[in-house]
Structure 1
């Protein structure tokens, strides 16, 4: 990797816990919403120009867990 550029940062709310507003929303769906939001906030960035994305997450369960 010769050049690294951080364009923006965004996060989902803490609503996936028991009783949380997003407890029935899959992480992939939340991630898709984040990516659409990042691209709309940065109109000069083409989606095809993104080579890699780094996600941080905690307390994964089921197929998303370790």
Structure 2
């Protein structure tokens, strides 16, 4: 089994996920595009060598829908042959994307994969997708979730 390595880490700014939050004018696509451009430019990366870009996104609807990872790959001017996929594991979506990228490399399914996460909660608020847990009382009241913005801030502050 091959080893997987993290070669770089790129972070966008964070702000409060509300309608008038500090990042409310910036789309999730723009955030993801900026990260991919920085990754390419900082490392002189030949993007045709990247097999896959995996991005976690909790609310893949509206402007964050339609496979935001693949859209960001193309928007950033990466190779048209670089695949992109979006996954959702709630607040662990970005972490799961990194784990999946590493697993692809370790298993030999990919030689080079990028993992990360994207969310613009000021623009696409939690629950916008109408999933059962925030809107169905039989689920919402019997289970408890720490809101994504709160948990993301807790994780980023560690």
TM-score, length-scaled by structure 2: 0.33
Provide the rounded CA distance (Å) in 1 between the counterparts of 2:50 and 2:16.
27
Structure 2, unaligned runs of 5 or more: 52-112, 132-158
* Maintained 8 Å contact 2:32/2:118: no
| Structure 1: tracts of 5 or more residues without a match | none
Equivalenced residue count is 64
Q: Which of these residues, 115, 138, 141, is aligned with residue 54 of structure 1?
A: 115
Q: Which structure has the highest helix share of the two? A: 2
Higher RCO (Cα < 8 Å, 6 or more apart): 2
Mapped to 2, the partners of 1:12 and 1:21 lie a distance apart of 12
Q: Which deviations, in whole Å up to 9, do the C-alpha atoms of 1:28-47 show, x marking residues without a partner?
A: 1110011101111101x211
The runs of at least 4 consecutive aligned structure 1 residues that moved more than 6 Å come to none
Report Cα offsets for 1:11-34 as digits up to 9, x if no partner. 111135223221132211110011
CA RMSD of aligned residues (A): 3.0
Contact 2:28/2:118 (8 A) holds in 1: no
TM-score when normalising by structure 1: 0.66
Q: Is the 8 A contact 1:39 1:47 kept in 2?
A: yes
State which structure, 1 or 2, has the greater radius of gyration over its C-alpha atoms.
Answer: 2
